[in-house]
Amino acid sequence: RNYLHFESISSTNDYAKEIAPSATDGTAIVAEEQTSGRGRMGRHWVSNKGQGIWLSMILKPNLSPNEAVKLTQVAAVAVVDSIKEIADIRSGIKWPNDIVINSKKVCGILTEMNGEIDRVNFIVIGIGINVNVQNFPEDLCGKATSLSIETGKILDRKPLTASILNNFEKYYRIFLINGFSSIRNLCKEYSLTLNKDVKVIINNNECIGRAVDIDDDGNLIVVFKNGEKKTIASGDVSV
């Protein structure tokens, strides 16, 4: 496997996108520190030295873009398994791709894609896990946590990184062979969103409904008060 390690980098996702055209499927990039770590929706991602796993994977699956976005959820399932394996603590998935412990976010996933309408050139899955972070900036207090805060232990990041790469590879293969439906049950089992009320933005309006299912395509099925059922493909859903 192609594995690149940096002491310091702007963002592993940015670097991954830069080298992706000539990189092989499965290339992993890990940094001790990111100077401009990015989150979803243009947000900043705190990525201090040695405090977490800042990892990006370059994938070149033979898929259409709307199939490839499901890889985010494949990654989320792998992370939940690895956190259990290495830190011996249960986490769950806030659909589609935040990993949460005790209602606080411990890991975020940023998936970026390059391709045409019917074909993906490459996809970059960025995973950020707060491992040994002890305090968060004020705006994240109450919202973010780390494995160390939750377990009361300092954790070795190497075995956790290795476990994530192994688990992801396992589920990635299953997904490529059998499709998302083969991962669906785990997504549902690990989901913290199912059977909860969620806020969904539809045409700029905030609507509250109940999440009742994750379908064979990884979409969230939400039923609203008026009985209307909607299939939510992505976007910001908050409990």
| Binding positions for ligand BTN, rule: CB under 6 A | 11-13, 34, 37-40, 43, 45, 47, 54-56, 98, 108-110, 126-128
Rounded to the nearest whole angstrom, what is the least distance from the CB of residue 164 to ligand BTN in the complex? 12
The nearer residue to ligand BTN, 132 or 225, going by C-beta atoms, is 132
The nearer residue to ligand BTN, 128 or 218, going by C-beta atoms, is 128
Backbone angles phi, psi at 164, to 5 degrees: -65, -45
Rounded to the nearest whole angstrom, what is the least distance from the CB of residue 55 to ligand BTN in the complex? 6
For residue 16, give the 3-state DSSP assignment: helix
The nearer residue to ligand BTN, 100 or 214, going by C-beta atoms, is 100
Rounded to the nearest whole angstrom, what is the least distance from the CB of residue 94 to ligand BTN in the complex? 10
The nearer residue to ligand BTN, 92 or 126, going by C-beta atoms, is 126
The nearer residue to ligand BTN, 36 or 195, going by C-beta atoms, is 36
Measured distance CA(169)–CA(155) in Å, rounded: 23
**Looking at beta carbons, which residue is closest to ligand BTN?**
108
Measured distance CA(65)–CA(170) in Å, rounded: 21
Inter-residue contact 25 to 59 (CB < 8 Å)? yes
Measured distance CA(88)–CA(154) in Å, rounded: 13
3-state secondary structure 74-93: HHHHHHHHHHHHHHCCCCEE
Rounded to the nearest whole angstrom, what is the least distance from the CB of residue 39 to ligand BTN in the complex? 3
For residue 219, what are the contacts with CB-CB under 8 A and spacing of at least 6? 231, 232, 233
Rounded to the nearest whole angstrom, what is the least distance from the CB of residue 226 to ligand BTN in the complex? 32
